[in-house]
């Protein structure tokens, strides 16, 4: 079945709600309206108001209610309308949701998913375009998932809804309807914590995730025409991080570029660069380079300049390939 990424989200929710009556959805405008991006379209009519719950405009309360539901045996999936609006619920997420397994010595878990569209590219300006995944990767007790394709989105979201621990699930809204894939009907899962080789290569490694996967693959294709063979790693999950796949590819090529849309300082690129430097330094043949968003508020008029595109990525690929 051919689906867009947002349709894959919808289908994953429907599949799991049919399979498990404990799965309930909470969020602003997710009921009759179907969500601001229509990710929950049709689910209110199919499952009713007790399982698809419209909430007030109060993210802290929505997440807090979800935590209570999870502790009492339900499987809540909370939608934050935009990732930018997750910060009113930050304390609930990092101080409560993430801590229950640890503070109870493993007696209690908090099995819930917080979904949020994130990233730029839709002319959303500074309050509807941020990439804040780093805040949550830094928080022990949370799993952070960042799919880039419809197929991966469905499989990873079903896995997230079945996970015994809380999962932050970031969806690249710029690609909600921009790409389509053939997706199996019914249920299938993709393991959380396992990266994917999106393109085989031998000369350099490009490590990315989420919305920048597509620009990275485009840059890799352009690089191939210049004689540079690029291996593209799609992380898919940021916490837990698939360090084995990262190090294997870095040792194979010896030349690494890391790409993400979030700001460069203290972003995932910094952590991955440190990992490779600590574990595979003897295999490197060039400095590790990063292509990232700017350390600035997300601009409206200069959106294209902020977002990593194929030309910016290709420039850094050529640098590492030619370094000697």
Cα–Cα nearest to 8, from 129, 157, 163, 226: 157
**Domain spans of the chain?**
2-182, 196-322
H helix intervals, the chain: 5-19, 43-47, 59-71, 90-91, 100-103, 133-137, 150-162, 212-224, 243-253, 268-280, 303-306, 310-322
How confident is the prediction for the chain on average, in pLDDT?
A: 97
How would residue 100 be classed by pLDDT, with cut points 50, 70 and 90? very high
Helix, strand, or coil here: 2?
Answer: strand
Question: Is 128 part of the annotated catalytic residue set?
Answer: yes
Q: Which residues pair with 289 in a beta bridge?
A: 257
pLDDT of residue 23: 98
- Whether residue 261 is predicted with pLDDT greater than 90 in this model: the reply is yes
pLDDT of residue 18: 98
| CATH for the stretch 196-322 | 3.40.50.920
pLDDT digits (tens, 9 = 90+) for 225-241: 999 999 999 999 999 99
pLDDT of residue 265: 96
Its pTM stands at 0.96
pLDDT digits (tens, 9 = 90+) for 17-53: 999 999 999 999 999 999 999 999 999 999 999 999 9
Share of the chain above pLDDT 70, in %: 100
pLDDT of residue 324: 87
Instruction: Classify each residue of 85-124 as buried b or exposed e, where b means 16 or more C-beta atoms within 10 Å of its C-beta.
Output: bbeebbebbbebbbbbbeeeeeeebbbbbbbbbbbbbeeb
| CATH for the stretch 2-182 | 3.40.50.970
């Amino acid at each position: 079945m051919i689906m867009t990424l947002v349709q894959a989200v919808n289908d994953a929710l429907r599949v799991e709600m049919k399979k498990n009556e404990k799965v309930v959805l909470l969020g602003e405008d997710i009921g009759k309206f179907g969500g601001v991006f229509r990710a929950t379209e049709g689910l209110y009519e199919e499952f009713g108001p007790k399982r698809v719950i419209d909430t007030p405009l109060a993210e802290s309360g929505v997440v807090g209610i979800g935590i209570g539901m999870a502790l009492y045996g339900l499987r809540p999936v909370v939608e934050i309308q935009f990732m930018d609006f997750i910060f009113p619920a930050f304390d609930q997420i990092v101080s409560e949701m993430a801590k229950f397994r640890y503070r109870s010595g493993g007696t209690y878990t908090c099995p819930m998913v917080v979904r949020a569209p994130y990233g730029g590219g839709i002319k959303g300006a500074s309050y509807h375009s941020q990439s804040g995944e780093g805040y949550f990767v830094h928080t022990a007790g949370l799993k952070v998932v960042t799919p880039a394709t419809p197929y991966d989105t469905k499989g990873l979201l079903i896995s997230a809804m079945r996970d015994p621990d809380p999962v932050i699930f970031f969806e690249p809204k710029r690609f909600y309807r921009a790409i389509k894939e053939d997706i199996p009907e019914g249920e299938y899962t993709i393991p959380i914590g396992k990266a994917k080789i999106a393109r085989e290569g031998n000369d350099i490694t490009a490590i990315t995730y989420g919305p920048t996967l597509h620009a990275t693959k485009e840059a890799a294709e352009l690089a191939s025409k210049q004689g540079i063979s690029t291996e593209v790693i799609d992380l898919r999950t940021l916490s837990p991080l698939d360090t084995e796949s990262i190090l294997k590819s870095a040792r194979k090529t010896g030349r690494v570029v890391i790409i993400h849309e979030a700001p460069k300082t203290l972003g995932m690129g910094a952590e991955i660069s440190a990992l490779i430097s600590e574990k595979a330094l003897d295999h490197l043949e060039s400095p590790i380079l990063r292509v990232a968003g700017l350390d600035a508020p997300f601009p409206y008029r200069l959106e294209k300049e902020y977002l990593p595109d194929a030309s910016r990525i290709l420039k850094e690929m050529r640098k590492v390939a030619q370094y000697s």
